[in-house]
A = this chain, B = another copy of it.
Amino acid sequence: MDKRAFQFSPVQRYLDRIHEELLDLNDGNVADYIPELTRADPTWLGIAMVTVDGHVYQVGDSRQSFTIQSISKAITYGLALEDRGLDQVLSKVGVEPSGEAFNSISLEPGTGRPMNPMINAGAIATTGLIEGNPNAPPMQRILEAFGRYTGRPMEIDERVYRSESDTGHRNRAIAHLLLGYGILDRAPEEVVDLYFQQCSILVTARDLAMIGACLANNGVNPVTGVVALQSRYVEKVLSVMSTCGMYDFSGGWIYNVGMPAKSGVGGGIMAVLPGQFGLGVFSPRLDAKGNSVRGIEACKRLSKDFSLHLFHVARSTSATVMRQVYDCAKRTSRRRRSEAELAVLAEQGHRIRVYELQGELLFGSAESVGVEILSELARVDYLVIDLKRVIGTDQASILVLSELCMRIADEGKRLFFTDSKNLYRFRKHLQGSAYRGQEPGPLHFEDTDHAVEWCENQLIAEAETTGADTPVADLSHQYLCAAMTGDELEALRQAGRECAFKTGSRIFDAGDCAESMFFIFSGEVEVWVDAGAGHRLRLTSLGPGMVFGEVALVNRKRRTANVSAVTDTRCLELRFDAIPESLHVKMLMSMASHFANKIERDTQLIQQLA
């Protein structure tokens, strides 16, 4: 992506403008409850945004380091969930808003369980759940977790840590209370020390935006692709941020700003718009509640100016995920077919339907797709669902599609998913359940073209058992010879030369001189080009009664593609300069007519595709 594009992007321009305007906002005071924090320059202002596409926007002091402080609570909570699981974490820390300030000791009467993990008591209890392993002590594991979010190695500000440690008497008191209630099961001093270090991790506004983007992107870092937090816990972390992240301002924050967020007394705010972006703002002057004044204002303006709100989400409908639907009466596979086969497909091809999906499959959109497919199932026998453009699935959509598979199998229809190689979880699940009960056979195709060809072959085979067709053709089957008499066909045969090609052998290569055409008597050939990296891209396949290389008759050029024999193949090779004069016009008439029909079909297809 061109760097210039970002500089002039609408969002970059907007952030530049907000940054400039907020420089005039000088309310609030730098935190002084830890002596070391007073060293911050009160004029610093950095804003960064990272989208789930991985675009990074930043302005001002977005690369200035500061200590993360309370924003660390959200990340450590996620790590505790991964380490201990939901039940154990919930037994130690609740999820209800306390309605009180950040340093309140809101413990649940009786159990002593802190109300939620965003107040200090809850955060200390959470940090107490993080254990080390033989390879890494707890603090190293915490630093590594933070690094998965930010995409870079993290460090601690030793002076702030010492300063926190020297003055954190209230937090020590909390830890001892928690020990008394059995919430902590390790030495309070050790846990509080870990907590002080965690709060002293150095971050930038850009880091905070990246952390937010991971949470917006179902836990995956959108730049590095690393899983920062398991997807199933992302919604839990965002839930506590949304109800408790801004202390006693949480209801109003969701109502007015509408983004789960967490602030720290270092001057940082990290906000998340799920599915869209993460936002990081840094400015050290704080309001009475300990939130960055400019940070709050930046979030408010952004939300208002762009109508951003977590409850304003894209509707998840089939219109969004169903890219296109077509049947094979109108659009066949690349396998070239005889007129008789084309006639079968024109009549029966509607029984094969291809559904191209795209984007992210969630409950609502998967269900819509399922309903659309089922609504026309009575008219269809073969279904191909193309997943090439699907960027993600969730558990709900997998369950919905599994039920769809079973229903289709129950009805005795055949269903193929193609191009699902990026959807590992989806494939794994379907292999386990969906294809159960289907008869054995070539059930999986990497691409839609081959799946459709297989379905077409079924329709054609079905028609052949009733009708009559021959796997061996003579010149009378060739469209170019349609208007010729028996004598003329014989003259043509005499003019040509019979030849045989073994399976796999090349008949001609792209770039060869084009001086003849080939009428196929038996076998099958494939026309293909080199797609690089050793891959062949099939342009078409041809069988008995078909001709290849004939375009050069009117359009003398070099060969533009390779042709290989797929099976043992017999042909008549006819040199252009050997064609009897009297047959020339007949062949040209047939060719032009055939091409005109092909153009008509292509035009219809293009209109349908476009």
Query: Which residues of A does B touch, CB under 8 Å?
Result: 1-2, 4-6, 8-11, 13-14, 51-53, 55, 94-97, 99, 116, 216-218, 231-232, 234-236, 238-240, 242-244, 248, 250-252, 254-255, 258, 260, 273-277, 305-320, 323, 331, 358-360, 362-365, 367-368, 370-371, 374-378, 389, 391-392, 394-396, 399-400, 403-404, 407, 539, 551, 553-555, 584-585, 588-589, 591-593, 595-599, 602-603, 605-606, 609-610
Rounded to whole angstroms, the CA-CA distance of A331 and B610 in the bound complex is 10
Give chain B residues whose Cβ lies under 8 Å from the Cβ of A377.
5
Other-chain contact of A95, B52, B255, B320, B376 (Cβ < 8 Å): B255
Give chain B residues whose Cβ lies under 8 Å from the Cβ of A94.
251-252
Rounded to whole angstroms, the CA-CA distance of A396 and B364 in the bound complex is 24
Rounded to whole angstroms, the CA-CA distance of A268 and B359 in the bound complex is 35
A10 touches B306 (CB 8 A): no
B371 touches A6 (CB 8 A): yes
Q: Taking A307-B394, A364-B275 as contacts, is the C-beta distance between A312 and B251 under 8 angstroms?
A: no
Give chain B residues whose Cβ lies under 8 Å from the Cβ of A254.
239, 242-243
Rounded to whole angstroms, the CA-CA distance of A305 and B395 in the bound complex is 8
Give chain B residues whose Cβ lies under 8 Å from the Cβ of A231.
312
Give chain B residues whose Cβ lies under 8 Å from the Cβ of A2.
374-376, 378
A311 touches B243 (CB 8 A): no
Q: Taking A306-B363, A364-B275 as contacts, is the C-beta distance between A606 and B602 under 8 angstroms?
A: yes
28 contacts between A and B (CB under 8 A): A1-B375, A4-B378, A9-B374, A10-B399, A52-B317, A52-B364, A53-B371, A55-B368, A216-B315, A218-B312, A218-B315, A232-B307, A235-B311, A236-B255, A243-B243, A243-B255, A274-B312, A275-B314, A275-B316, A276-B316, A308-B396, A314-B359, A315-B360, A319-B391, A320-B359, A331-B610, A588-B588, A592-B592
Q: Taking A235-B258, A606-B606 as contacts, is the C-beta distance between A51 and B374 under 8 angstroms?
A: no
Give chain B residues whose Cβ lies under 8 Å from the Cβ of A362.
276, 312-314
Closest to A215 in B: B311
How near does chain B come to A397, taking the closest CB pair, in angstroms?
Answer: 9
A55 touches B250 (CB 8 A): no
Rounded to whole angstroms, the CA-CA distance of A14 and B378 in the bound complex is 22
Give chain B residues whose Cβ lies under 8 Å from the Cβ of A364.
51-53, 273, 275-277
A311 touches B260 (CB 8 A): yes
Contacts A232-B307, A602-B602 known; list 8 others, CB within 8 Å: A2-B374, A5-B375, A52-B317, A96-B248, A97-B250, A234-B311, A235-B312, A320-B358
Give chain B residues whose Cβ lies under 8 Å from the Cβ of A370.
9-11
Give chain B residues whose Cβ lies under 8 Å from the Cβ of A378.
2, 4
Other-chain contact of A589, B360, B371, B392, B588 (Cβ < 8 Å): B588
B55 touches A371 (CB 8 A): yes
Give chain B residues whose Cβ lies under 8 Å from the Cβ of A367.
9-11, 51, 55
How near does chain B come to A300, taking the closest CB pair, in angstroms?
Answer: 14
B368 touches A318 (CB 8 A): no
How near does chain B come to A346, taking the closest CB pair, in angstroms?
Answer: 17
Closest 5 A/B residue pairs (Cβ): A10-B403, A276-B364, A595-B595, A306-B396, A96-B251
Give chain B residues whose Cβ lies under 8 Å from the Cβ of A309.
235, 239
Give chain B residues whose Cβ lies under 8 Å from the Cβ of A9.
367, 370-371, 374
How near does chain B come to A262, taking the closest CB pair, in angstroms?
Answer: 14
B11 touches A314 (CB 8 A): no
B320 touches A399 (CB 8 A): no
Give chain B residues whose Cβ lies under 8 Å from the Cβ of A6.
371
How near does chain B come to A321, taking the closest CB pair, in angstroms?
Answer: 8
How near does chain B come to A472, taking the closest CB pair, in angstroms?
Answer: 28
Rounded to whole angstroms, the CA-CA distance of A55 and B367 in the bound complex is 10
Other-chain contact of A371, B5, B363, B374, B395 (Cβ < 8 Å): B5
